[in-house]
Amino acid sequence: MQIISKNQIKPIILFALLFLFLSGSILHAAESEIRMTEAGKTVGNLKHRWQFFEVQPGVQALYAQVVVPLPVGQEVEQVSGDSSLWKKEWNKPGRLLVGLGALNSKIQVTLKGGGQRSLEFKTSLNQSIIREKDCNAAGLKFIESKKNPLRSFMGLVCEQKADMILVHLSGPLEFETDTSTIFESAGKGERWKTYEISRSNLKSTKNEIARFTFQAQGKKLQFALLLDIKSAAATNAVPEEPKKFFRTAGGIALGTLAASGAAGTESKMTLGLHLDSITQPYLWKMVGFGKFTYAAPVSKASSLEFEFGTGPSFALGSSGRSLFGLIFSYVALGQDQDVAGKALSLRHNQMGLNILTAFAMGDKGSLQFRIRSSGFGSATTDLSIGLGYEHAKNVNNFWRLGLIFQNQKAKTTTSEFKFGQTYINYLFSL
């Protein structure tokens, strides 16, 4: 067996080190290349690195920090240009460090003692570049569509708060934000955007948290923000049970029933039962809605109401609990009441329109508002306004405190009657 001598080992080690150095250079060049043009002369691939830098307090964006060689004795006083970043502390003898936030950049360099240099940079991408910071700990992962027609660079910084995660997304200046499925809270007119994701939204059983579409060169590019199920944070965010299709609540309602006619006006206290239910979106963002209220005849006044309907819903923001809905419903409402010893009765059976809104408050709360009108142009009309606060302990366990005001008008050929229901209700999930 042949034994390798010490003299033979040395060139092998040197060759291995040279191979690793060249491999690193090739991989770097394969990812991106930046060329600089000045006064018609182009300099080859400049040394650079992709790095996050602060663009305003609490917000970081991705830049290509490029190294520009300077002649001996030349010092930089100021650098300006669209989507470029320069700091005085970066100044080093013989070099200029500048951050580029665009694929094509023009900067103006002011030199100490007078004089200026106009530099143009062109960044070529041989593959898309995605950099993430602190997103694995947040349980999130950012990916691009395999069908994207252009290469790009995108940076994602995830900042964890007590009740939400702030996502700071930055891309090339040339890329214009087209659409996003989560709420943009900052960065209007900038190449970076900040989005808010409530932690309750991470409890969704869906893998995709958000989708982003950009426009560039007349083409569209898509990216997605996913739950990273391999991370501990994402695993903890997945609920033990899926959301119920019917989100149903029931409880007690304490209030008053009022009626007025030719004989006078009277208001009676009442105690009743309230049930309502709304479905998860089932087709084209449509949801179903149902309501039942019974006010017992504890003081010579009673009321019975039920309603059901359907309509489109739209997400508001990123919480998963904020929404806007339009519900077309059928309303059947009856009330019987004694007024000055005379019995008055209401029978209202009409089609109506509901506007439903819910605004997330913190991680578990939401403020809800509902307005309904039915019987347009008919002999009996109805207006209902509801305001409530809901606290969700988890995805299927919640309670709600609400206040409801309703009134109806009924006209005959000779008279007009008015009825009203006012309730304070306490409901809990069923």
HEC assignment per residue over 153-182: EEEEEEEECCCEEEEEEECCCCCEEEEECC
The DSSP bridge partners found for residue 183 are none
- Domain coordinates of the chain in residue numbers? 43-124, 129-237, 246-429
Spatial separation of the C-alpha atoms in residues 62 and 206, rounded to whole Å: 28
Q: Residue 299: what pLDDT? A: 82
Burial class (CB in 10 A: 0-12, 13-18, 19+), 162: exposed
pLDDT of residue 6: 54
**Entry pTM:** 0.51
Total residues found in the chain within this entry: 430
Q: Which one, of 380, 415, 33, 64, lies nearest residue 261 by Cα?
A: 415
Residue 43 CB-half CA count within 13 A: 15
Please give the Cα distance from 286 to 288 (Å, whole number): 7
pLDDT of residue 192: 93
Structure tokens at 17: 């080190």
Q: How far is CA 72 from CA 94, 96, 97, in A?
A: 6, 12, 16
Show pLDDT as tens, one digit a residue, over the chain (430 residues). Answer: 444 555 555 555 655 555 444 444 444 445 889 999 998 899 878 999 999 999 988 899 999 999 999 888 888 999 998 889 999 888 888 899 999 999 999 999 999 888 899 999 999 988 889 999 998 888 888 999 878 888 899 999 999 887 788 999 999 999 988 888 888 888 888 999 999 888 776 765 467 888 899 999 889 999 998 887 565 444 444 434 567 888 899 999 999 999 998 888 999 999 999 999 988 888 878 899 999 999 998 888 999 999 999 999 887 754 455 788 899 999 999 999 988 888 888 999 999 999 999 887 766 788 999 999 998 888 899 999 999 999 887 768 899 999 999 999 998 878 889 999 999 999 999 8
CB distance 292 to 306 below 8 Å:
yes
Look at the domain 246-429 and name its fold.
Lipocalin (2.40.128)
Distance between CA 295 and CA 301 in Å, rounded?
8
Return the ∠ at Cα 18 (arms to 14 and 22), rounded to 5°.
175
> Between β-strands 301-315 and 397-411, what pairing exists: parallel, antiparallel or unpaired?
unpaired
Output the CA–CA distances (angstroms, integers) from residue 372 to 31, 359, 361, 389, in the order listed. 58, 18, 24, 18
Question: CB atoms < 10 A from the CB of 381, how many?
Answer: 18
Q: Which amino acid is at 397?
A: N
Report CA 409 to chain centroid distance, whole Å: 42
Return d(Cα 71, Cα 130) in angstroms, integer: 34
129-133 and 48-56 beta bridge pairing: unpaired
Give the tokens for residue 238. Answer: 């997945």
pLDDT of amino acid 23: 44
Written as six digits, the tokens of 201 are 């939204």
Q: What is the pLDDT of residue 29?
A: 45
Cα distance between residue 365 and residue 389, in whole Å: 7
